[in-house]
Amino acid sequence: MPQRANYEREIIFSILDEGFICHLGLVTDGLPVVIATSYGRIGDHVFIHGSAASRVAKVAKGTPSARIDVCLTVTLLDGLVLARSAFNHSMNYRSVVLYGQASLVVDDEEKLESLRAVSDHIIKGRWDDVRPPTSQELKGTVVLKLPLTAASAKIRRGPPEDNEEDYALPIWAGVIPLDVRASVPIGDPQMDVSTAASVPDYVLNYRRP
């Protein structure tokens, strides 16, 4: 397959920055667990919160300094690759795999900063418009930090690669491009008329970088 592991920071960063859902793998009682979750990035660290972080925290058993082995995978699917043979069908994608030891963010200021990074990562501009976390909400939020030390990217793009003798077959071959798109936003029915009418630009024109 025309794919190659790539360790360049810019490529890894661009894939991490376009995606916002990762699949986090960890080992509990010797068995694998994979949880989907959102994430953000500040420099060389990825930050994770939500149920995946809580699951890791459970593995850490309340030890704030615990380091938990995780594998974080981000996959951007760019298209279906239709070859002339069943065997050579493939997908176009860009993916990043990170291996490392995740730790809990304990410092309140770092926690607030990392939650802002996750929010900015998913929908830039939203954080400044909403009610910020109270200190109680902040205490109740588990955030994980994973250094970008062992990361690699894999990319497959372009047309199918068929066996030489298959190119003569009269079979349509090519790529069906796929991407994630936003459609018309649905306002919460519990807004008053003027609030409902003031749809922010980051909602109206939502798109990934």
Number of residues that bind a copy of itself (CB under 8 A): 84
Q: Which residue carries 């609030």 as its tokens?
A: 195
Min dist. Cβ of residue 55 to a copy of itself (A): 11
CB atoms within 10 A of CB 185: 10
Q: Coil, helix or strand for 123?
A: coil
Site string for a copy of itself, 41-80 (x = CB under 8 A): ----------------------------xxxxx-x-x--x
Which of 6, 14, 54, 95 is close enough to bind a copy of itself by CB under 8 A? 95
Confirm or reject binding of residue 18 to a copy of itself (CB under 8 A).
Answer: no
Question: Which residue's entry shows tokens 């300094």?
Answer: 65
* Residue 122 found at the interface with a copy of itself (CB under 8 A): yes
- Distance (Å, whole) CA 136 – CA 160: 54
Reading the block at residue 76, the tokens are: 């951007």
Residues 126 to 165 in contact with a copy of itself, rule: CB under 8 A: 126-127, 129-134, 137, 141, 159-160
- Tokens representing 125? 């501009």
Strand partners, 71: 25, 99
Q: Which of 11, 14, 17, 33 binds a copy of itself (CB under 8 A)?
A: 33
